[in-house]
Amino acid sequence: MGMTGRPTHTLAAAVARYIDCGSHYNGQRSNFGVVASVTQLRFAQKGTKGLLRARNDVLVLQCVAAGGDRCSRTDVARETGLPQATVSEIVAEMIERRLVREAGREAQRIGKPRVLLELDSDHHHFVGVHLGRGRIRASRLTLTGHIVESTTVPHMLGDDTLATIATAVGRLAKSGDAEISGVGVAAPGIIGDDGTIREAVNYGWRMMPLGQELSRRCGGLPVHVVNDANAVALSEVALSTVDVDTVVVLWIGTGIGAGIVLDGRLYRGAEFRSGEIGHIDTGASLRCRCGLIGCLETVAAEPTIVGAASESDIQQFLAGADDADSRALGERIRRAAQALARLLSTLGGTLDVTDFILGGPFSSHPLAPAVLGAVNDVLAVRVMSGFSPLKVRFTTLGAHSLIFGAAAHAIRQELGVMIAMPAGLAEGVPPEEGSVDSGG
């Protein structure tokens, strides 16, 4: 039996899950030291004592995180295979840095009571920011996902985005005694490792150094930027109550994209363009705003599905009306569902994924349940013999998944660990406005 009273292999699997989630950025340096890769296939440099120590630091922190408040130094040594002396040295340093703390003692049948360890969730806080339509929402979170405070700042196209985000972060940083250890920003567009938004068509941004400039405006705080669809995918891993390590988020708004987590790793591609699925050819005859014909966005983006339907038209359709406008809306939903189901079937067969999640602005639209149901109906009749059925569901926390995903991304970048956020799942949706003044 392992440290939690469960079979040891269960905890070992949980630790392995944390390892994979935290090791995507090979050898990246953060404010907490070098984040070493644990599972990379190729190595570009020789092993050094520093990299080995960084790897061991990550192993220990991941093991403590996976064990909740039920693990001791001996348990960590057993699960990681590290010498007891090495574990004790690393734990002592992490206690000094306020990453880990002793959580009390537990009596044993034989010998001294064992000293339990847990994450120190009171000292290092992270800010998750969602750059959205008409507003910027931000929350200050602990390592376990507890929302300390939230704020909302109006933001319209053409506003100084950097100044607005800095205002939101500044409000959260002023209150409370805990240290802000990093900021995660969920933003649209193609985003590089350095936090540069290479292109965001809807905002007119190209090669915008959001991470670097925002860090400067926030007094040098580490800032990590992640694509909004990827943020939702990360939040699903962080908020999951089971071992979910492979998931695809289908992001639908004015455009269409996808966030992909494979085997616990956020997959972004060689040019950071993974998930750019909105312009895949569906065989339709409509011309896209990009200039091509037949793109997925011409049949399945929110503006295309809604069309000219008014709120009254939508309510009548949902109530079962059979007039011309309702039939036209139903046909647009059917056409979108066919195209989306075909795409998901392809992704499922290519990536061996069965768990798909609908996110993005459209997920909160009154028509979203109808589209989701129509897609699942099509997927249900496309199951190949011997294959698990594909299914699409809504995000765990709706639009607020972006805040958790952004914070999880910052934690992963700074600490090298994807830490589960059970407190976030238990608390549910954070308030639009917390105790921080949310005026413009």
Residues 265-322: pLDDT tens digits? 888 888 888 888 999 999 888 998 888 999 999 999 999 999 999 999 999 999 999 9
Distance CA 196, CA 46 (A): 29
3-class SS of residue 14: helix
CB 129 within 8 Å of CB 182: no
Amino acid, single-letter form, for residue 411: I
Q: What is the per-residue pLDDT for 89?
A: 94
Distance CA 187, CA 40 (A): 27
- Chain position carrying tokens 């238990």: 426
**Does position 119 have pLDDT exceeding 50, yes or no?**
yes
Going by pLDDT thresholds of 50, 70 and 90, the confidence category of residue 108 is confident
Domain 8-39+47-119 in this protein, CATH class:
mainly alpha
The answer for residues whose C-beta is within 8 angstroms of residue 355's C-beta and 6 or more apart is: 244, 246, 247, 248, 391, 393
Q: What is the CATH number of domain 124-234+399-427?
A: 3.30.420.40
Residues 235-279: pLDDT tens digits? 888 776 566 678 899 999 988 999 998 887 888 888 888 888 999
**Two tokens at 398?**
């709706």
Q: What is the per-residue pLDDT for 114?
A: 86
- What sign has the CA pseudo-torsion 85, 89, 94, 95? positive
DSSP state, 421?
Answer: -
CB 135 within 8 Å of CB 153: yes
Distance CA 185, CA 211 (A): 8
**Does position 330 have pLDDT exceeding 50, yes or no?**
yes
Q: What is the per-residue pLDDT for 156?
A: 85
Amino acid, single-letter form, for residue 319: A
- What sign has the CA pseudo-torsion 419, 188, 28, 42? positive
**Two tokens at 329?**
């809306």
CB 102: neighbour CB atoms within 10 A? 15
Mean model confidence pLDDT for the chain: 82
**Does position 16 have pLDDT exceeding 50, yes or no?**
no
Q: Pairing between strand 190-191 and 197-200?
A: antiparallel
**Does position 33 have pLDDT exceeding 70, yes or no?**
no
CATH 3.30.420.40 segments of the chain:
124-234+399-427, 246-395
**Does position 28 have pLDDT exceeding 90, yes or no?**
no
Distance CA 272, CA 187 (A): 14
Q: Percentage of residues in the chain with pLDDT exceeding 70?
A: 82
Distance CA 281, CA 219 (A): 45
What are residue 187's DSSP bridge partners?
227
CATH 1.10.10.10 segments of the chain:
8-39+47-119
**Two tokens at 411?**
């934690």
- Chain position carrying tokens 């150094």: 209
**Does position 98 have pLDDT exceeding 80, yes or no?**
yes
10 Å CB burial of residue 75 (0-12, 13-18, 19+) is buried
CB 246 within 8 Å of CB 355: yes
The correct CATH number of 246-395 out of 3.40.30.10, 3.40.190.10, 3.40.50.2300, 3.30.420.40 is: 3.30.420.40
Average pLDDT over residues 29-34: 46
CB 66 within 8 Å of CB 14: yes
Comparing C-alpha atoms, which of 89, 97, 100, 23 is closest to residue 64?
A: 100
- What sign has the CA pseudo-torsion 153, 154, 156, 159? negative
